[in-house]
Structure 1
Amino acid sequence: MSHDLGTAPLLGLRANVAQFSLLVVVNALVGGMLGQERTVLPLLAEYVFGLSSYTAALTYILAFGLAKAATNYLAGIWSERHGRKPVLVAGWVVALPVPLLLIWATDWWMVVAANVLLGISQGLTWSTTVIMKIDLVGPRRRGLALGINESAGYLAVAVTALLTGRIAAEAGLRPEPFLVGIAYAALGLGLSTLLVRETRGHADHEAVQAEGPASRVSDREVFVRTSLRDPALSSASQAGLVNNLNDGLAWGLFAVLFASVGLDIGHVGLLVAAYPAVWGIGQLATGALSDRWGRKPLIVGGMLLQSVALGLVAAVGSAGWWLLAAVLLGVGTAMVYPTLLAVIGDVAHPSWRARAVGVYRLWRDLGFAVGALMAGVLADLWGVRGAVWAVAAVTAASGLVVVLRMPETHRRAGPS
């Protein structure tokens, strides 16, 4: 698709600040839909549904991860074929019944079903807000843009986890905490339908300006390049998977571990919220820093810091030390999360970038499923602390893979 000079869309954060800001708000609501579960669902599994096996209790995270991973891949393909906005709106429609199912669930399979829908919704909505922001800002400030996007989403996860924990401490585990999710879903659908504008034209315009010909690349070739062949893309994909393996462990087991020493729901909610809060705030800085310093140093440092933080979680047993570990884990994740997405934007040609983002997010969010399964099995075998130690070791190994295999991808890396 070509544009003449009179109709070509402008690229850049400042030129698109209104739509960009709206998409930040929308992604905060997407994150809030995830945050409604972080404190409450692990406690529901234990105290309401009486699930004594960690493997059984974490089935909802396994279902969420598999559904989200598959939908991420499809979202990238569909957003290129049908446009970004229809995919975003469809994701919010799928989100509407999630809090209702969590309120009405009488058997654990209903909770698992709700998380299948939540995974589909998150795959459609979060993937699309990422793609749309990459479309709008162009190549110069991609790290900053993605840092803002991910910051909004994970700050909302933290705030909502803290809020629903407080509500649960005062009013019980159901239904009041999930009324927040109903409000988020309704507002997200309304904003996406009425105010968000299509951004595919921005990507088409950037593709015309991009260096090198925009030859047709098949879906299979994009998958192979992003998963295996390209050293930068594949290194980012494995690091993303391990990063979310951490998060699946934290989501499923941290609340149970913190409650096991006698902390009440309010204090558990505070500790659970601290990690995504620091993660969210930190990305405001780390995304921009990756535009100045390059991607690789932040990714390697972040993965190794996550490993240290997880080891601290496993080694200590008091709220103060756990708070420090949560802060360190949040800092490490903030260094990695927007930077990996920026790597994909750096390397993938605009003509197939949305599909590359979808493949990367497929692998990244499979980490939820792998983390839930691994954490559940290891916690049943070795206890919660043993599971955390094992994931800390895997995270350190992932950082070393990046050291050995990933080249620097940002053209402006180094002193300005």
Structure 2
Amino acid sequence: MTPRLGLRENWAQFSLLVLVNGFVGAMVGLERSILPAIAEQEFLLAARTAILSFIVVFGIAKAATNYLAGRLSDRFGRKHVLIAGWILAAPVPFLLMWAPSWNWILAANALLGVSQGLTWSTTVIMKIDLVGPRQRGLAMGFNEFAGYVALALSTLATGYVAARYGLRPAPFQMGIGFVAIGLLLSAFLVRDTRDHVHLEAQAHSGDADAAPIPSQAEIFRLATYREPTLSSISQAGLVNNLNDGLAWGLFPLAFAAAGMSLAQIGALAALYPAVWGFGQLVTGGLSDRIGRKGLIVWGMWTQAIGIAVIAMSDRFAGFAGGAVLLGVGTAMVYPTLLAAIGDVAHPRWRASAVGVYRLWRDLGYAFGAVLAGVLADRFGIAVAIWVTAAITFGSGTVSALRMRESSGASRSP
């Protein structure tokens, strides 16, 4: 069957990959509301830096795997990498349920990070492959919508189950089903998309083999500092996930210190990714129409405002308002950054460019957890949150000054 580019032309495979990415996101949601409580109550960890160590391990493992996932996808095929990611996720629910020490939790998060790097990166790359250049933002909106709405629902469910049945093992049992369904769908129904890459490369350059492919080292330099738009995207992604690491690890502790119940903490932890997830249904396609830069810049500034609102609050309504703003800002940024990478990078080295971007983006988890933990231990949780808000505002300013509009839509002012 001759491959064709476009969302409508590939709706069946595209929809299947959206579903698969929902199960990928749900695996992360298993931990979002309750792992800090497990650290404090079961393993008696007091220092914020120690509690947030699971996010550092997850972030480093996921970032390093993201870097490799693009090259592995180009070399061995997208589908093989996706299946490998699910196989590596299989032990995670069991480790979280029965871990006898905190080091076992860290091992589970290392495996989860590697699995996420392979599965999420591959579903992103495959959707970009399928739709071609015209609807790239819309495709990323659907992809990230599925992942983060599923993450939010999983977070809400684990918070509810933990409040009713205890912190372990019940909340993690649903993870066994997530892995089983994701692996079966990927192995038996997902098809590889490398033929779509070849087709787009021909349209891009007139000859799929004419344009030389930069070395991996050169792609790394382009996406890290040399090319203004690619490097602006990478730094914004890093700060965005620095915020997510803060929301994942420190916000539940801040909410608990303000007297929120476990059920309330679960609801607040789910609200931010839920707004983020649903918002991407709008912002991904919007970036195709109005351009990428404005959404990225204003999205980072909106995140900064949301974090500041949480820092100033001590009640559920204030925390919820800040979480909504943080979710809106993240929805503006997240699919747009991925779409912009696809705009700038040639199809033949796009997967590698996505890998470099996702390396820096997910190192934000580690940087955020270390920064938040050190600041919280030394100066208090509020100071850690305020410093993060300032960094986020600065990231938006960097993008405003360095980034160019990359889409074919109207240029941002």
Query: What TM-score does the superposition give when structure 1 sets the normalisation length?
Result: 0.97
Instruction: Tell whether the 8 Å contact from 1:292 to 1:414 is kept in structure 2 after alignment.
Output: no
* Superposition deviation, residue 411 in structure 1: 1.4
Match of 2:220?
223
1:263 aligned partner:
260
State the distance in 1 between where 2:7 and 2:211 align. Answer: 24
Unaligned runs of 5+ in 2: none
CA distance in 1, matches of 2:369, 2:330: 18
Greater Cα shift, 199-208 or 121-130: 199-208
Moved more, 267-276 or 208-217: 208-217
1:193-204 equivalence runs, <5 A: 193-204=187-198
Structure 2: which amino acid aligns with 1:125?
T
- Give the Cα–Cα distance (whole angstroms) in 2 for the partners of residues 405 and 383 of structure 1: 34
Identity percentage over the alignment?
A: 60
Residues 1:99 and 2:93 are matched in the alignment: yes
The residue identity in structure 2 corresponding to 1:344 is I
Q: Does structure 2 conserve the Cα–Cα contact (< 8 Å) formed by 1:207 and 1:214?
A: no
Range that drifts further, 67-76 or 39-48: 39-48
Q: How far apart in 1 are the matches of 2:77 and 2:360?
A: 23
**Separation in 2 of the partners of 1:143 and 1:74?**
24
Q: Which residue of 2 aligns with 1:237?
A: 234
1:372-411 pair list within 5 angstroms: 372-411=369-408
Partner of 1:28: 22
Alpha-carbon distance between aligned partners in 2 of 1:298 and 1:216, rounded to the nearest angstrom? 30
Determine the C-alpha separation between the residues in 2 that align with 1:40 and 1:124.
Answer: 25
TM-superposed deviation, 1:71: 0.1
The amino acid across from 1:235 in the alignment is: S
Q: Determine if the alignment matches structure 1 residue 274 to structure 2 residue 271.
A: yes
Equivalent of residue 345 in structure 1, options 338, 342, 346: 342
Q: Find the counterpart in structure 2 of residue 4 from structure 1.
A: none
Amino acid at match of 1:140: R
In structure 2, what is the Cα distance between the partners aligned to 1:261 and 1:207? Answer: 54
Q: Deviations over 1:216-239 (max 9, x none)?
A: 221111111111111110000000
1:285 to 271, 282, 285: 282
Deviations 1:107-156 (A, max 9, x none): 10000000000000000000000000000000000000000000100001
Aligned to 1:335: 332
> Residue 200 of structure 1: CA displacement?
1.0
Alpha carbons 2:405, 2:411 under 8 Å: kept: no
How large is the RMSD of aligned CA atoms in angstroms? Answer: 1.0
CA contact (8 A) 1:162 1:273 kept: yes
Aligned equivalents of 1:125 and 1:150: distance in 2?
13
1:110 aligns with: 104
Equivalent of residue 116 in structure 2, options 122, 129, 134: 122
Residue 146 (structure 1) aligns with:
140
Aligned to 1:178: 172
Paired letter, 1:346: D
Deviation at 1:413, TM superposition (A): 2.8
Q: Which residue of 2 aligns with 1:53?
A: 47
Could you tell me how far apart the structure 2 residues matched to 1:268 and 1:62 are? 22
Q: Residues of 1 paired with 2:410 and 2:341: CA distance? A: 15
Bigger CA drift: 51-60 or 206-215? Answer: 206-215
Structure 1: how far apart are the matches of 2:197 and 2:391? 36
Query: 1:316-327 maps to which residues of 2 (within 5 A)?
Result: 316-327=313-324
Q: Which of residues 286, 295, 299 in structure 2 aligns to 1:298?
A: 295
After TM superposition, which residue ranges in structure 1, 4 or more long, deviate above 3 angstroms? Answer: none
Secondary structure (helix, strand or coil) at the match of 1:210 reads: helix
Aligned partner of 1:87 in structure 2 is: 81
Distance 1:228 1:254 in 2: 31
DSSP-derived class of the 2:251 partner: helix
CA distance in 1, matches of 2:101, 2:239: 31
Between Structure 1 and Structure 2, how many residues are aligned?
409
User: 1:301: how far off?
Assistant: 0.5
Could you report, residue by residue, the CA deviation over 1:52-97 in whole angstroms, capped at 9, with x for unpaired residues?
A: 0000011100000000000001000000011100000000000000
Match for residue 357 of structure 2? 360
SS at match of 2:212: coil
Deviations 1:266-314 (A, max 9, x none): 1110011000000000000000000011000000000000001111111
- Map of 1:159 onto structure 2: 153
User: Which of 112, 132, 139 lines up with 2:126 in the alignment?
Assistant: 132
Cα offset for 1:366?
0.3
In 2, the alpha carbon distance for the partners of 1:26 and 1:288 equals 21
Paired with 1:78 and 1:142, the residues of 2 have a C-alpha distance of 22
What is the letter of the counterpart of residue 218 of structure 1? S
Q: How far is 1:197 from its partner?
A: 0.4
Contact 1:8 1:205 in 2 (8 A): no
- Residue 10 (structure 1) aligned with residue 1 (structure 2): no
Unaligned regions of 5+ residues in structure 1, if any?
Answer: 1-6
* SS of 1:308 mapped into structure 2: helix
Deviation at 1:414, TM superposition (A): 5.4
Q: State the TM-score, normalizing by the size of structure 2.
A: 0.98
Which residue type is aligned with residue 222 of structure 1? I
Q: Give the Cα separation in 2 of the matches to 1:107 and 1:130.
A: 34
